[in-house]
């Protein structure tokens, strides 16, 4: 039997899918969200972090306030699927499933309008439509603009449709689920000269080689072996002749961590190694270290609420931890650093129907039956959390 909400969610999702917008350009998507909220008679605050929207739904009975987040942005990818809802914007595509998240949150607003009492026994829910999850730190910007304080947020949840988990399953873990994402760039400045007369130079290529090697000791010698950490130098550029020692070398790379401690320590350690090695060779160095995403760390109590909800909606064996932890990043982590919460995956893989392509692939699509499942699990999560 078809879920009564399926058709509505599919039509919302396909409308959004057809018209993808990149980070901080989600103007049409925001318009759609606002017009749906207006139809329901819900007030909202808009233009948060450019295109973000929040709508506070109050049960009228004192209690806690829970933030539920959906991200709205698409990716700069040209869609290769041929469907009735394929992206009509060249080079832009909802290839991560954020179209589903926005549709589900609008669907949740509609359910709240229909029957608020059965979903929010007491307290309030802040429906949060966020821009720029994909490398734009939209979550951080919404926090900087004060929504957590303004609405007195006590807890937070977000779901992600996930093609590495089968339809009908929910992926959730206690503690860290996704890694932090940091980005660094290093410019090593030496003294250029003849390749045959190194005594008159400071060779930035040799210095860089030592830096690259030593950076791996952050993982192998400075970090608890039981704590995941990756340091990757993914780009190096220097010189343009075989017999010339160039003036400088450029490197770029990424650091990924799982625990709060490793996350906090990593930039200090990297700076120490880079500056120490450069100095020992008489080179100068310019280091830029940029935080992109924090580690996504679930509160075990909140993860338990997700498990309870999923079991009620999908049955006892519906929870999985397989392929749930990844070294990828997610900016919902910014909310999780501020208030207890849980981020979870709603399985959207269906091998029989061919929904198997990974997120960020130009052939990504998912089983739309995952949307009413996500909606039902989220409704139950809200009910359990706000009953306490
Ligand atoms: Zn993504
Ligand atoms: Zn995503």
Which ligand places an atom closest to the C-alpha of 130? Answer: 2
CB-proximal residues (5 Å) to ion ligand 1: 96
Which ligand places an atom closest to the C-alpha of 77? Answer: 1
Q: How far is the CA of 306 from the centre of ligand 2 (A)?
A: 19
Residue 257: what pLDDT?
Answer: 95
Q: How far is the CA of 272 from the centre of ligand 1 (A)?
A: 32
Q: Name the residue with tokens 């998240």.
A: 101
Residue 135: what pLDDT?
Answer: 85
Which ligand places an atom closest to the C-alpha of 332? Answer: 2
Residue 308: what pLDDT?
Answer: 98
Q: How far is the CA of 241 from the centre of ligand 2 (A)?
A: 43
> Residues with Cβ < 8 Å from 46, sequence gap 6 or more?
30, 34, 52, 53
> Residues with Cβ < 8 Å from 4, sequence gap 6 or more?
none
Sheet holding 319-320, edge to edge: 45-48, 52-58, 124-130, 65-71, 155-166, 341-349, 170-171, 319-320
Contact 298, 174 (CB under 8 A): yes
For the residues 168-191, what does the mean pLDDT come to? 97
Instruction: Supply the pTM of this predicted model.
Output: 0.89
2, pLDDT greater than 90: no
110, pLDDT greater than 90: yes
Tens digits of per-residue pLDDT, 236-268?
A: 999 999 999 999 999 999 999 998 899 999 999
Tell me the pLDDT band of 95, cut-offs 50, 70 and 90.
Answer: very high
Q: How far is the CA of 325 from the centre of ligand 1 (A)?
A: 15
**Mean pLDDT value across the chain:** 96
Q: How far is the CA of 113 from the centre of ligand 2 (A)?
A: 27
Which ligand places an atom closest to the C-alpha of 98? Answer: 2
Tens digits of per-residue pLDDT, 197-217?
A: 999 999 999 999 999 999 999
291, pLDDT greater than 80: yes
Which ligand places an atom closest to the C-alpha of 101? Answer: 2
CA–CA separation, 9 vs 203, rounded Å? 60
Q: How far is the CA of 163 from the centre of ligand 2 (A)?
A: 11
Q: Please report the DSSP string for 88-151 in residue order.
A: -STT-B--SSHHHHHHHHHHHHHHHHH-HHHH-SSSEEEEEEE--TTTS-HHHHHHHTTHHHHT
For the residues 136-164, what does the mean pLDDT come to? 97
Residue 333: what pLDDT?
Answer: 96
Tens digits of per-residue pLDDT, 306-359?
A: 999 999 999 999 999 998 998 889 999 999 999 999 999 999 999 999 999 999
Q: Could you say which DSSP state residue 219 is in? A: I
Which ligand places an atom closest to the C-alpha of 97? Answer: 2
179, pLDDT greater than 90: yes
Report the share of the chain in percent with pLDDT over 90: 97
Tell me the pLDDT band of 56, cut-offs 50, 70 and 90.
Answer: very high
Q: How far is the CA of 137 from the centre of ligand 2 (A)?
A: 12
User: Which tokens hold the place of 32?
Assistant: 């759609």
Q: How far is the CA of 192 from the centre of ligand 2 (A)?
A: 45
For the residues 265-293, what does the mean pLDDT come to? 96
Q: How far is the CA of 271 from the centre of ligand 1 (A)?
A: 29
What the chain holds in terms of domains, given with CATH numbers, is 6-176+295-387 (3.40.630.10), 181-293 (3.30.70.360)
């Amino acid at each position: 039997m078809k879920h009564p909400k399926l058709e509505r969610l599919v039509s919302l999702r396909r409308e959004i899918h057809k018209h993808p917008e990149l980070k901080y350009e989600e103007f049409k998507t925001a318009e759609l969200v606002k017009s749906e909220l207006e139809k329901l008679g819900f007030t909202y605050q808009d233009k948060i972090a450019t295109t973000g929207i929040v709508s506070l739904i109050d049960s009228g009975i004192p209690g806690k306030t829970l933030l539920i987040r959906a991200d709205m942005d698409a990716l700069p990818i040209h869609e290769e699927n041929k469907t009735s809802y394929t992206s009509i914007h060249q080079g832009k595509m909802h290839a991560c499933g954020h179209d589903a998240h926005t549709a589900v949150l609008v669907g949740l607003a509609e359910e709240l309008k229909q029957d608020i009492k059965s979903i929010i026994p007491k307290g309030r829910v802040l429906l949060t439509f966020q821009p720029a999850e994909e490398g734009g730190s939209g979550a951080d910007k919404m926090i900087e603009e004060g929504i957590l304080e303004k609405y007195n947020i006590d807890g937070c949840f977000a779901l992600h449709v996930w093609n590495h988990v089968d339809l009908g399953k929910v992926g959730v873990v206690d503690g860290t689920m996704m890694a932090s994402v940091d980005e660094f760039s290093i410019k090593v400045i030496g003294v250029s000269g003849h390749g045959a007369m190194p005594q008159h130079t400071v060779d930035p290529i040799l210095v860089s080689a030592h830096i690259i090697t030593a950076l791996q000791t952050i993982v192998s010698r400075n970090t608890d072996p039981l704590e995941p950490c990756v340091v990757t130098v993914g780009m190096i550029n220097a010189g343009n002749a075989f017999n010339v020692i160039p003036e400088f070398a450029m490197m770029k790379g990424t650091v990924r961590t799982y625990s709060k401690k490793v996350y906090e320590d990593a930039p200090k350690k990297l700076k120490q190694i880079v500056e120490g090695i450069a100095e020992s060779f008489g080179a100068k160095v310019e280091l830029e270290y940029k935080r992109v995403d924090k580690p996504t760390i679930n509160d075990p109590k909140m993860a338990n609420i997700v498990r309870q909800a999923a079991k009620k909606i999908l049955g006892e064996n519906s929870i999985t931890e397989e392929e749930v932890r990844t070294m990828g990043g997610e900016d919902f982590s910014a909310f999780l650093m501020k208030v207890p919460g849980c981020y979870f995956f709603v399985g959207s893989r269906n091998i029989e129907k061919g929904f198997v392509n990974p997120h960020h692939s130009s052939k990504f699509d998912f089983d739309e039956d995952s949307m009413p499942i996500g909606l039902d699990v989220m409704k139950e999560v809200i009910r359990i959390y706000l009953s306490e």
